[in-house]
Amino acid sequence: MPVQKGNILIVDDSKSILSTLEILLSPEFGEVTVISNPNQISSELRKKDYNVVLLDMNFTAGVNTGNEGIYWLGKIKQTNPDVSVVLITAYGDIDTAVRALKAGASDFILKPWDNEKLLATLKLAIQLNLSKREVKDLKERESELKKQMNRDQRPIIGSSPLLMNVLNIVRKVAGTDANVLITGENGTGKELIAKEIHRLSDRADELLVIVDMGAVSETLFESELFGHIKGAFTDARENRQGKFEIAHKGTLFLDEIGNLSFHLQAKLLAAIENRQITRIGSNQPIDTDIRLICATNKNLEDMVKEGLFREDLLYRINTIQLELPPLRERGNDIITLAEFFLRKYTQKYNKPDLKINQQALEKLQEYHWPGNIRELENTFEKAVILSDTAVIKPDDLFLRPATQIYSNGSITRLEEMEKKMIRLALEKTNGNFTTAAELLGITRQTLYNKLKKDRDDDQ
């Protein structure tokens, strides 16, 4: 049954009219059903999916007010608001037509009808129904997309006083629209805190739009944030919304804000202050309603002194500033997080019996964690993947040689540290160059080159 042709339910107390309409409409539409009793409308609409109801306005002999049709129109709209209803009557006047349209009818047809006009009216009513369905589907998909995107929320783990202080401020500020600046070292969880602010805010049902400012080139900055219209530049083949528009009514998170060049900071400041953006190629301003959260691992106050960051932009984005503590200052949170990541990756890689011993946990607490939580997670994923026994031991934790710097207070030459890392990687992987290169975060060829250089230096 071709849905695009549409299904029609005809309701009229005249058997001859039902027969005539069925003969006329059946070749033109997907399925045509006729009933003479309006009390059957509800059950019929439950049985089949109709696009249009062609409804008579009078069912009682001697009555021609149209009130019955208006009554049944209301009943249909209560249960099937998107179905198009076309009213048909032999007693037409302006007032009746106006009443019908106000009550939700798509159109109004007089008996006797013109066949061509009736067909055209029903086809338009079907298109109206299909358009309503499409809009409804798009809204449902948009709502589900927002739920799915906002659902990707990893729990914030830990109970150290420093973390609890941050979360206390998060709870206080989340319910406001105050701009928030989140600072801290790489890997401390700035994006996670931004997501938590959004989750606890009045905008939680809308989108949280994340932009990595460090990954946006200067040439694409305006297009990425403000959008463009078709033909605005060579590759602008269609209209495109920018991140400000997409985040309308929601939250815009600008990560690595300190990487934004000085001259582009003025354009960002204008958009924030005016609460308006203009797409490239257009002169029509667009109002935006966003909650702004920014993050950086840089000292923006020092950058202001050095002339690298606008002071007025700094004031605008840091109504509230949250400083995230580095992992090395969070005490037993290191162990709590380690146990969390161990559970996560033993499940992911199907190694449920894998444990970690006390010596390995002590090693974790002694390490300085320059890469913070991100480095801890990466360490555990590698350890689980490469483990050949049921217990993760200290030697199974591949940590950067930075431990040598902080554990004994001495500083090793960079070349020696690199050689040691390569040696440890090869020992741990039993000489497998591909796996060793992956552990070191370099290509297999780079590993070969470094080994060749070391051999040449030793000769």
Sorted by sequence, the CB contacts under 8 Å of residue 189 that are 6+ apart come out as: 156, 324, 372, 373
State yes or no: pLDDT of 425 exceeds 90. no
Positions of CATH 3.40.50.300 in the chain: 161-325
State yes or no: pLDDT of 420 exceeds 60. yes
Cβ burial 329-341 (10 Å sphere, 16+ → b, else e): ebbebbeebbebb
Task: Look at the block and give the residue holding tokens 């370099």.
Answer: 442
Strands 7-11 and 355-356, bridge-based pairing = unpaired
Positions of CATH 3.40.50.2300 in the chain: 3-136
Peptide bond into 161 cis (omega under 30): no
Higher pLDDT, 334 or 415: 334
Q: Is the dihedral of CA 369, 374, 376, 379 positive or negative?
A: negative
| Least confident segment among 224-238, 247-261, 364-378 | 224-238
pLDDT at 413: 53
| E strands present in 203-308 | 208-212, 227-228, 240-241, 251-255, 276-277, 286-287, 291-296
State yes or no: pLDDT of 405 exceeds 60. no
Question: Cα–Cα distance between 303 and 458 in angstroms, integer?
Answer: 44
CATH 3.30.930.20 for domain 3-136: no
Question: Cα–Cα distance between 418 and 435 in angstroms, integer?
Answer: 17
CA distances from 390 to 59, 313, 399 (A): 81, 53, 20
pLDDT tens-digit profile of 65-91? 778 888 899 899 988 998 999 998 877
CATH of domain 329-390: 1.10.8.60
pLDDT tens-digit profile of 280-304? 999 899 999 999 999 999 999 999 9
What's CA 85's distance to the chain center, in Å?
Answer: 37
The interaxial angle of helices 333-348 and 358-366, nearest 10 deg, is 120
State yes or no: pLDDT of 1 exceeds 60. no
Architecture of domain 161-325: 3-Layer(aba) Sandwich (3.40)
pLDDT at 54: 93
3-state secondary structure of 2: coil
Q: What is the mean pLDDT of residues 172-196?
A: 96
Cβ burial 180-204 (10 Å sphere, 16+ → b, else e): bbbbbbebbbbbbbbbbbbbebebe
pLDDT at 102: 83
In this structure, are residues 446 and 425 in contact, taking their beta carbons and an 8 Å threshold? Answer: no
Question: Cα–Cα distance between 193 and 158 in angstroms, integer?
Answer: 13
Positions of CATH 1.10.8.60 in the chain: 329-390
Q: What is the DSSP-derived secondary structure letter of residue 255?
A: E
3-state secondary structure of 212: strand
In this structure, are residues 374 and 187 in contact, taking their beta carbons and an 8 Å threshold? Answer: yes
